Homo-oligomer: A and B are copies of this chain.
């Protein structure tokens, strides 16, 4: 049983905690919170041992009627491994603490790649994480692109990938974030930093990305073009993607034409928090023009990296090979066709 501590119990951290707990070969040692609030209360009700990120916060937790099992240092010490889901840049500051306790760690996408030995996507480079002590799960957008590019690259070869990332402005609970009524090139510079991030997973891939931000909170949508090395039949490409366990081909008969309906589908299916762990690729959008592949895919930013974190843990601790780990993660989460 792998004992996993979760440092940073926010959007990603709380989902990773739940996902880890649902696995047969892992358990949550505890989670950290910077102060008492509704998320801390829910964590406590859910039975997670709360650890305060600093001494001063302990009194605030007590005042709120919440038990504290210890400090973040205690948690790092007691855990076999830490999943660090603190805000971008904070993880890097924590690394020395993890090292001091000889505790391996998984970092998230907003950290710079050099926070870890390798950048991870289960579908693309699972084996490279074997025995690594510090691993970084790539961001939601990079995870989404990697899952799409891996099979295309393996099967047809990629001459050049181009993607326009139409990004949600904030998560549903981040009411301070905008824009309210704008479409922002973000960054204005082309290509964006997302391409190089994909190259941390596929070092030899030629990819140019453009990023925009819009007033929506539900999902990112990618407009993807891949110039392949060959000119496949569109049905074969569809079948190829359909065979991927973390790609959901949105069928025409579902009449799903929006992110809102995708998320509604997940809510109807009883998914925890209405989460969609898979890339959602619209079947009707899959097109091949000569060697040019096109599609639209929607990425649930709060959810897609969650199974990746679980697999990263298995790779690091040699608990299973890729196929077995992905199958186990998916089964435990209820991510099935």
Quick one: given A178-B178, A208-B294, A264-B172, are A184 and B257 in contact (CB under 8 Å)? yes
Q: Indicate if the CB atoms of A217 and B181 lie closer than 8 Å.
A: yes
Query: Is A116 part of the contact surface with B, judged by Cβ < 8 Å?
Result: no
Bound CA span A90–B258, Å? 26
Q: Which residue of B lies closest to A172 (CB)?
A: B260
Quick one: given A166-B166, A172-B218, A212-B166, are A282 and B181 in contact (CB under 8 Å)? no
Q: Which residue of B lies closest to A183 (CB)?
A: B221
Query: Is A37 part of the contact surface with B, judged by Cβ < 8 Å?
Result: yes
Task: Give the residue among A223, A254, A256, A282 with the most B Cβ atoms within 10 A.
Answer: A223
Q: Which stretch from A97-105, A118-126, A135-143, A285-293 is at the chain B interface?
A: A285-293
Bound CA span A41–B250, Å? 13
List chain B residues, Cβ under 8 A from A253.
36-37, 64
Query: Is A190 part of the contact surface with B, judged by Cβ < 8 Å?
Result: yes
Q: Indicate if the CB atoms of A189 and B38 lie closer than 8 Å.
A: no
Quick one: given A258-B182, A260-B173, are A274 and B267 in contact (CB under 8 Å)? yes
Query: Is A162 part of the contact surface with B, judged by Cβ < 8 Å?
Result: yes
**Residue ranges of A at the interface with B (Cβ–Cβ < 8 Å):** 14, 36-39, 41-42, 45, 64, 160, 162, 164, 166, 168-170, 172-186, 188-191, 208, 210, 212, 214-221, 223, 225, 253-261, 263-265, 267-270, 272-274, 282, 284-287, 289, 292, 294-296, 298
Contact of A180 among B39, B180, B255 (CB under 8 A): B180
Contact of A173 among B45, B173, B219, B264 (CB under 8 A): B264
Q: Indicate if the CB atoms of A223 and B223 lie closer than 8 Å.
A: yes
List chain B residues, Cβ under 8 A from A270.
272
9 interchain pairs (CB within 8 A)? A42-B268, A175-B179, A175-B184, A175-B257, A181-B215, A182-B216, A185-B221, A267-B272, A274-B274
Q: Indicate if the CB atoms of B208 and A223 lie closer than 8 Å.
A: no
